[in-house]
Amino acid sequence: MNKPFVIAIDGPAASGKGSLAKRLAKELEFDFLDTGALYRRIALHTLESGIDPSNTEAVIEAAQNFGDELAKDYDDSALRNDGVGNAASIVAQIPEIRQILFNFQQNFAKNSEKGAVLDGRDIATVICPDADLKLFITASTEKRAERRHKELQSRGLDATYEAVLAEMQERDERDNVRLKDHMDPNVDNHTIDTSEMNPDDVFQRALDFYKSSSR
Ligand code: DC
């Protein structure tokens, strides 16, 4: 059996990496894993159990009994809300939580049939360092806040651009401190800055990288 082709896509919040990853997986008929959603699932489970996300010991205990739930289908809107996103960025700082998810993510990539696309923060460096294609998707903080703001508005949610920008900066800071050794935009030099690009152009650029790297 051939080894599956693995595409690792990393980048900061709201850079467009999630939509790109999904579209690439669909185009190539690969399996797709949104790894941020795994941290969000643990965060949601923690919140629903009445546990404070910064209570490290309680979070670890809850997550240890949560293993099988990770693969279940979730109500996406519950996972996507900003409270859960913030809690996710707090629980993601706990090494034991990262270890629990490490195995899940590696197995997903290894056991995919044709290939797998994983998007997150540390896929190319920690989870799948041997990935066949590594992409880093980024955009300026202002652009990312602008997109997130529009998305919230389209969902009928009320938030000012300034508040979204401030939250984005806070989240970036937390993610960057923790992931400074893992998030590496220069890995393989396949960086796409989407600040001034539309989603179709980003997709085409990624597809070109894929074509020139596929075996
Ligand atoms: O991409 P996202 O917003 O759904 O991710 C939620 C949080 O999970 C984010 O603050 C960073 C964290 N995360 C991580 O630490 N490692 C990953 N591979 C994916 C997400």
| Block residue for tokens 């393989």 | 188
Query: Residue whose CA is closest, atom 4 of ligand 1?
Result: 36
Q: How far apart are CA 39 and CA 66, in angstroms?
A: 12
CA-CA distance, 11 to 15, in Å (whole number)? 7
d(CA 58, CA 51): 7
C-alpha span between 84 and 90 (Å, rounded): 10
Residue 100 CA, ligand 1 centroid: distance in Å: 14
For the record, the structure tokens of 42 come out as 């643990």
Q: How confident is the model at residue 139 (pLDDT cuts 50, 70, 90)?
A: very high
Cα of 92 to ligand 1 centre, how many Å? 7
Ligand 1: list residues with CB < 6 Å: 13, 35-36, 39-40, 85, 88-89, 92, 120-122, 171, 175
19-33, 54-68, 70-84, 116-130: least confident range: 70-84
Q: What pLDDT, in 10s, does the model give residues 62-98?
A: 998 887 777 777 777 888 887 898 899 899 999 999 9
> What is the CATH code for 1-30+116-215?
3.40.50.300
Q: Are 59 and 53 in contact (CB under 8 A)?
A: yes
Amino acid at 96: E
Report the residue among 45, 89, 136 best suited for mutation to probe ligand 1: largest number of ligand atoms under 8 A from its CB: 89
Report which protein residue has its CA nearest ligand 1's atom 20. Answer: 36
Is 196 in a helix, a strand, or coil?
Answer: coil
DSSP 122: S
CA–centroid distance, 212 to ligand 1, in Å, is 29
Instruction: Tell which atom from ligand 1 comes closest to the C-alpha of 179.
Output: 15
- Cα 172 to middle of ligand 1, angstroms: 10
Do residues 66 and 42 touch, judged by C-beta distance below 8 A?
yes
**Helices (H), ranges, the chain:** 17-28, 35-48, 56-64, 76-80, 82-91, 95-110, 141-154, 161-179, 199-213
Q: Identify the pLDDT of residue 155.
A: 83
Q: Do 201 and 16 touch, CB atoms closer than 8 A? A: no
Provide Rg for the chain, Cα atoms: 17
Quote the ligand 1 centre to 205 CA distance (angstroms).
Answer: 24
pTM: 0.91
Domain layout of the chain by residue ranges: 1-30+116-215, 34-111
